[in-house]
Amino acid sequence: MGQQVLNGIFLGSIYALFAVGYTLVFGVLDILNLAHQAVFMLAAFVALALVADAHLPLWVALPAAVLAGGLIGIVLERIAFRPLRGRSDSNISGLISSLAMATVFEAIALEIFGPDTSRFPQGTFPDRVVRLGGATASLLQLCIVGISVLLMALLTLLLGRTRLGRQIRAVAESPRAARILGVNVDRAIAFAFFLSSALGGAAGVLFGLAFNSISPDVGRGVELKGLAVIILGGMGSVPGAVMAGFALGLVEVFTVARLGSSFRDVVSFAVLFLVLIARPRGLFGRAAAREA
Amino acid sequence: MSVARRWSLPLLLLLVSAACKKEEAQPVAASPAGGGAVIGAALSLTGPAAVYGAQQRAGIQAAVEEVNARGGAKLSVIVEDDASTKEQGITVFQKFINRDKVSAIIGPTLSNTASAADPLAQAAQVPVLAISNTAATGITDIGNYIWRDSLMEAQVIPGAFKKAQEKLHFKTAGVLYGNDDVFTKAGYDVMQKALQDLGVKVLGTQTFAKPDRDYNAQLTELTAAKPDVLVVSALADNAAAIVSQARQRGWTGPILGGNGFNSPAFIKNAGAAAEGVMVGTSWNSSSQEPANQKFLANLKKAGVNPDQFSAQAYTGVLILAEAIQQSGGKTGRADIEAGLGKVKDLDTPLGKFSFTPSRDAQHEPSVQQVKDGKFQIVQ
């Protein structure tokens, strides 16, 4: 029981980290960035290449891959979103152009890394088992939960306490009002993309480390889960995404353990369905206001 | 769910374009001058079974070169990617049957794909030789044009488990299997029966799906019951992740695998976690028979690490060549079908090969264990 709670928190922390970036962009732009999962995947491959081919230690490769994820996010925003901004149908066309970018990113990964499942080399992270009461966790799992929580806390601080964070929130509220108040809207959006993709990239690297399997299509399963998480948490709500991420991780683990793996997605999406009927704005979504 | 549907079209286009490119880029052997037989090979070069498809292609290439070099019936092979899916498998079969007008088809890699694609060949009366389908039902019982050179799980696993029990003396087991795939599900059915026959008590059974990456929930449930041994029916990709995560969880006990484990890719991806894993196999890598030694030498020349799947693929080509020989060098679909019925005690890397009356494979299986990062035959 305690062990399964631990497994759920572990899985949930990765879902939450993925979804936080996903929901951040939605909060700012009202656009679902369907290339988020491809950034997740590319960052995992970047970390893998740095560790396996360049023989860098993980503590160098992880931040480098997160940074790479962020930079990919900026490129993504430039190519797929900025040219469309201001058009009347930018929500739908942005959705489609992000889908195109995801396909391009996947094709790039397929070309460079091949279709096979790759993994981090043995000993990338020390194999240590830690006992917590009656349950056991590997050191890696604890670090993953720790890094996820730390990054999410940093994002909350950044959005709440810094000038840039305030600008992003202002743009989320109303781009026009923000522009009138002197906010550089393009820069704020680009920065939101940087943050979003860096977090998505971090989730990708941690996922690759945790489950030892990275392939060009690794993001697709997580994308649907991430979508469920941000709807459950309230579209655009960062704290909502965090809570919903952990909740989904726990629900999934207990579903698999008690009902069997066939029910993994059935129960997750049934919960989503029920929440949407009872609270259409999600658990943490507010009626009129939006927050980034 | 609309997201998934939005995905499918661009992905399909991508796959199709990739498949087309491959077809033009890599004819396995140029069409021989004097006509000869054209064989279609539907292999999983992408998707979850890609690790097997690559090995199979290498085995087929090596065998075609050997057969063409020794004179007699000439062969050429067209390789197509079935993408490890039923849908793509059907598309490839249709192309082979109607456009390429092949004499016979080798493949597809997965039983799952075969159960969907083979009926097309049966209807068109094109002989199919399965080289890696191991599901007990839904393959050769499709009809008289479907043959296979791969042993069924039911022919390999009971013997392998018996030998493993003699070595490891286990009395209880925890079982984990993929329940969304014909092959892993069929493997599970056989394993369950084998364990029952050996008097082993199953303390817990858990399932997973092919796209799953996280097996901690299942492994926690299984290991909590403290079984003597973990029994896993999975494809190589999943198998490597399952074994790694089991070891990460602190499981130090033995692990018995199904046929999906029989791949160098499993050892590569599971690394040190693979040590001690035991698997039944239809190919005895250390056999000193000339046919096996020749196979090993041919693959070494091609720079490929041989495994059961390349051995079975290689054998498949030898069997088709023998079938053509038996029908007096004629390469029509009906000739090969008739010739396959006459193949008996053929020397292959798998040993003396014959078909059973139900067109299934008949030869001696072995057991192997991972030692120092390599499969070694358990004597």
Task: Quick: pLDDT tens for B173-192.
Answer: 999 999 988 889 989 999 99
Which chain B residues are Cβ-neighbours of A260 within 8 angstroms?
179, 206-207
Asked if residue B41 has pLDDT above 80, the reply is yes
Do both B342 and B271 map to the same domain?
Answer: no
Q: How much is the mean pLDDT over chain B?
A: 88
Residue B277: inside a domain, yes or no? yes
Q: Specify the DSSP element, H or E, that contains A132.
A: strand A129-132
Residues B53 and B132 in one domain: yes
Residues B98 and B113 occupy one common structural domain: yes
Cα-Cα-Cα-Cα dihedral sign, residues A229, A232, A238, A243:
negative
Contacts of B218 in chain A (CB under 8 A): 256-257, 261
pLDDT band for B45, please (50, 70, 90 cuts). Answer: very high
For residue B178, give Cα distances in angstroms to A141, B7, B150, B181, B187: 24, 25, 20, 6, 9
Which pLDDT tens digit goes with each residue over B193-207?
999 999 999 999 999
Would you say residue B127 lies in a domain? yes
* Same structural domain, B124 and B174: no
CA angle (B189, B363, B357) in 5-degree steps:
80
CA torsion sign, B186 to A261 to A147 to A167?
Answer: positive
* End position of a domain, from candidates B250, B281, B312: B281
Same domain, residue pair B64 and B178: no
Co-location of B294 and B253 in the same domain: no
Would B357 be classed as within a structural domain?
Answer: yes
User: What confidence tier does B7 reach under pLDDT thresholds 50, 70, 90?
Assistant: low
| pLDDT at site A91 | 78
Residue A147 has pLDDT above 80, yes or no: yes
B248, B345: one domain: no
A211 touches chain B (CB under 8 A): yes
Cβ partners under 8 Å of residue A104, min gap 6: none
**Least confident range of A147-161, A272-286, B83-97:** A272-286
Name chain B contacts of A5, Cβ cutoff 8 Å: none
Higher pLDDT, A85 or B300: B300
Angle between helices A185-211 and A139-161 (to 10 degrees): 170
Domain membership of residue B379 (yes or no) is no
* Section A57-69 average pLDDT: 95
**pLDDT for residue A290 is more than 80:** no
Query: What pTM, to 2 d.p., does this model score?
Result: 0.76
B55 and B135 housed in the same domain = yes
Check residue B9 and give its pLDDT: 53
What is the pLDDT averaged over residues A63-80? 96
Range of the domain at B322: 12-151+288-362
Residue A172 confidence (pLDDT) above 60: yes
ipTM of the complex: 0.81
DSSP-assigned beta bridge partners for residue B366:
B281
Which residues are within 8 A (CB) of A271 and not within 5 positions of it... i.e. 6 or more apart?
A232, A248, A251
In a domain, B367, yes or no: no
What type of residue sits at position B250? Answer: G
Residues of A in contact with B210 (CB under 8 A): none
CATH of the domain at B32: 3.40.50.2300
Q: How confident is the model at residue B10 (pLDDT cuts 50, 70, 90)?
A: low
Mean pLDDT of A163-179: 91
pLDDT tops 60 at residue B13: no
Chain A hits for B2, CB-CB cut-off 8 Å, are none
**Is residue B378 domain-resident?**
no
What is the mean predicted confidence (pLDDT) over B26-36?
48
Q: What is the SS3 assignment for chain B?
A: CHHHHHHHHHHHHHHHHHHHHHHHHCCCCCCCCCCCEEEEEEECCCCCCHHHHHHHHHHHHHHHHHHHHCCCCCEEEEEEECCCCHHHHHHHHHHHHHHHCCCEEECCCCHHHHHHHHHHHHHHCCCEEECCCCCCCCCHHHCCCEEECCCCHHHHHHHHHHHHHHHHCCCEEEEEEECCCHHHHHHHHHHHHHHHHCCCEEEEEEEECCCCCCCHHHHHHHHHCCCCEEEEECCHHHHHHHHHHHHHCCCCCCEEECHHHCCHHHHHHHHHHHCCCEEEECCCCCCCCHHHHHHHHHHHHCCCCCCHHHHHHHHHHHHHHHHHHHCCCCCCHHHHHHHHCCCCCEEECCEEEEECCCCCEECCCEEEEEECCEEEECC
- Whether chain A has a CB inside 8 Å of the CB on B109: the answer is no
pLDDT category at B35 given cuts 50, 70, 90 is: low
Nearest residue of A to residue B250, measured between CA atoms:
A129
**Residue B377, in any domain of the structure:** no
Of A118-122, B16-20, B68-72, least confident by mean pLDDT is B16-20
By CB atoms closer than 10 A (0-12, 13-18, 19+), residue A150 is exposed
DSSP A53-121: TS---HHHHHHHHHHHHHHHHHHHIIIIIGGGTTSTTHHHHHHHHHHHHHHHHHHHHHHHH-SS-B-PP
Domain count, chain B: 2
- Read off the tokens for B45: 């070069």
Query: Is pLDDT at A37 greater than 90 in this prediction?
Result: yes
Helix/strand/coil for A282: coil
Alpha carbons A142 and A123: distance in angstroms, whole number: 17
Contacts of A257 in chain B (CB under 8 A): 206, 217-218, 220-221
Does residue A289 surpass a pLDDT of 60?
A: no
Q: Residue B33: which pLDDT band, with cuts at 50, 70 and 90? A: very low
3-state secondary structure (DSSP) of residue A200: helix
Asked if residue B375 is part of any domain, the answer here is no
Among B281, B296, B311, identify where a domain stops: B281
Within 10 angstroms of residue B302's Cβ, the number of other Cβ atoms is 14
Whether residue A213 lies within 8 A of chain B, CB to CB, comes out as yes
Q: Helix (H, G, I), strand (E, B), or coil: what is residue A278?
A: helix
| Same domain? B299 vs B273 | no
* A residues 132-151 closer than 8 Å to B (CB): 136, 138, 140
Least CA distance to B3: which residue of chain A?
A224
Mean pLDDT of A167-191: 92
Query: Region B358-364: what's the mean pLDDT?
Result: 91
Average pLDDT over residues B152-158: 88
| Nearest by CB: B218 against A8, A223, A261 | A261
d(CA B239, CA B269): 9
Residue of B nearest to A223 (CA): B3
- The rounded Cα B181 to chain-centroid distance in angstroms is 14
Record: contact A7-B217, CB cut-off 8 A: yes
Express as a percent the part of chain B with pLDDT over 70.
91
> Chain B contact for A262, CB < 8 A?
yes
Residue A145, token pair as written in the block: 């939960």
At residue A30, the 3 state secondary structure works out as coil
Query: Could you tell me the end-to-end alpha-carbon distance of chain B, in angstroms, rounded to an integer?
Result: 52
Q: Which domains does chain A have, with CATH numbers?
A: 2-120+134-278 (1.10.3470)
Q: Given a cut of 50, is residue B214 above it in pLDDT?
A: yes
User: B residues 242-271 near A, CB within 8 Å?
Assistant: 244-245, 247-250, 265, 269, 271
Asked whether residue B166 falls in the same domain as residue B251, the answer is yes
Question: Would you state the pLDDT for residue B29?
Answer: 44
Q: Are residues B295 and B353 in the same domain?
A: yes
* Residue B56 shares a structural domain with residue B142: yes
Choice between B34 and A95, residue whose per-residue pLDDT is larger = A95
pLDDT, one tens digit per residue, over A117-132 is: 888 887 788 878 888 8
Residue A85 has pLDDT above 90, yes or no: no
- Determine the pLDDT at residue A286: 61
Would you say residue B19 has pLDDT above 80?
A: no
Q: Identify residue B215 by its one-letter amino acid code.
A: Y
- Bigger pLDDT: B24 vs B302: B302
pLDDT tens-place string over residues B233-292: 998 889 999 999 998 888 999 999 988 898 878 988 888 899 989 999 989 888 889 999
